[in-house]
Chain A
């Protein structure tokens, strides 16, 4: 029994067994509501096959683990992910959390109370922590498996009050359960990271995507920085930030209801230079994903 394990959809796995990790991905990406669109056909068998082909190619290229950071309301399908992991042998880590305010359902924004006050941080924290400690929800059916990371996003233009509540809630859930926090930054990545750290979460338990020009400042605080462009990631790593650099495809295996680039995990595995790959694709993701003792 190792002290550091990672929550995958098929159960805890020793962090050192993850291998090459695509750390900030979306497997099945569904813009909330698209599942009800009259002209979108979601063929479950075809979806499975499309994702499985990408995971098989990843495995053939030396890949070991894919982390789905779409959160609980953007297509995440726990039984599907379990079957994919069993069929392909690739570890899959799924996430709790939800994306920025504009992606939330009315339950969180205009609840049936008077006035309709958006959810506070503590309610988000409880909802997301339970997905780690009690299992991820298959809506109105069951809980299965433990979430391996808490994932959220900040509105691109600027952080809304609800984004802040949610980011704080996610940070609390991460701190309480020991899983890491990852978020896609809005207009001020440094200030947004400070919000998360203000909840008592250690910087090395946080990964920030979309940091742009502020990447070095984030890395200096101790947070991981996620790049979706390998050239930029490699340059950043070579500037002395290799221990804080993560790299992802920036796409989705398959998407419905919105345009998302098609991800190739195999290309990602091959693109990082050999001298950096063990750090960027294995050691850093393992450090981030290993569940910390509370």
Chain B
């Protein structure tokens, strides 16, 4: 039976509707919880988050439903019981992650762990649940530590993730698509088809000139255009920002070249950031407010939009144990 793990239990992929494939309810580096400068009251957190999710739900109505994939790693403020309450009250399906945003976000207990232990941690969170919430992870997050080069711990996490993905059937998301050669080598050694991997942030400003996204796509990997909205035109853009038109052209190039099935798109926005100021005004609803109109202006038809935001993510998030290559 095909299913997608959400924090409130499995759903049929046909129920997912419009999917924002890489988002965050709230992200913070491990340790940021110690610094009161970032603290917000629970009232404030719900106030900042609920209206965004309700608007996302409204925006997605023509597609049937709204699914929000939270790509926050184990030590980055992931809070599954909070996600459960948000999902229950807003009607947005929320998919949570197991895994780590990068080795540099894995706390010492996990930094010291073996591939086998990390694999068991991931499998447990996907098949049994996260902590005592009962919520199961629907994706595995991995990533490249700061510095654009895979470190030993990053590689250990990638290998554990590949094994857990093969066994459980959930897909892998990478934070950053740079230095992809060792990642692809590991997935090959472990026998994981690359269409089960979304190489994320291939579109961000700091990765340009370092990311071989067309090469990754040729190998069968999926390319994440998932930082839409982090535009350098913003009043105070983050360091990974990029000129808006340049990112859009990058994306449209895939569509013109018939590579629509290689891409997934999202905004990587924080509803209520946990350990950084966030980017004012940037929300998951950028997808509806700015991206979809821009795509339509550039001649992208509704069938293609449906493919990118409904069909492809539903297939990608569907649990496929012992994943065979997809068509």
- Point out residues on A near B: beta carbons under 8 Å: 31-34, 36-39, 72-73, 102-116, 127, 130, 137, 139-140, 143, 257-258
Contact = CB atoms under 8 A, between A and B. Distances in A.
B120 interface: yes
B131 A36 contact: yes
Q: How large is the interface on B (under 10, 10 to 19, 20 to 34, 35 or more residues)?
A: 35 or more
Contacts of A111: 29
Contact of A127 (B34, B74, B106): B34
12 contacts: A36-B110, A72-B34, A102-B108, A103-B108, A107-B275, A112-B238, A112-B275, A114-B206, A130-B36, A140-B33, A140-B39, A140-B274
Given A31-B108, A113-B239, A107 B125 contact: no
Contact of B36 (A33, A105, A112, A143): A143
B121 A38 contact: yes
B124 interface: yes
Given A107-B28, A112-B29, A112-B276, A139 B34 contact: yes
A106 B31 CA distance: 7
Given A33-B108, A116-B146, A127-B34, 20 more contacts: A32-B30, A32-B108, A33-B74, A33-B107, A33-B111, A34-B109, A39-B124, A102-B111, A104-B31, A105-B31, A105-B34, A107-B31, A107-B34, A107-B35, A107-B275, A110-B29, A115-B146, A140-B274, A143-B36, A257-B109
B33 A106 contact: no
Interface in B7-41: 28-36, 39
A258 B108 CA distance: 10
B167 to A, nearest CB: 15
A106 B101 CA distance: 11
B145 interface: yes
Nearest 4 A-B pairs (CB), nearest first?
A105-B31, A33-B107, A33-B109, A107-B31
B145 to A, nearest CB: 7
Nearest to B206: A114
Given A36-B75, A140-B39, A105 B239 contact: no
Given A33-B111, A38-B121, A38-B124, A106 B36 contact: no
B105 interface: yes
A284 B32 CA distance: 35
Contact of A37 (B121, B239, B275): B121
B104 interface: yes
A37 B109 contact: yes
Nearest to B240: A114
Interface in B27-57: 28-36, 39
Nearest to A130: B36
Contacts of B74: 33, 36
A141 to B, nearest CB: 8
A257 B113 CA distance: 10
Interface string B87-130: 00000000000000000111111111000000011001100100
B121 A139 contact: no
A114 B147 CA distance: 10
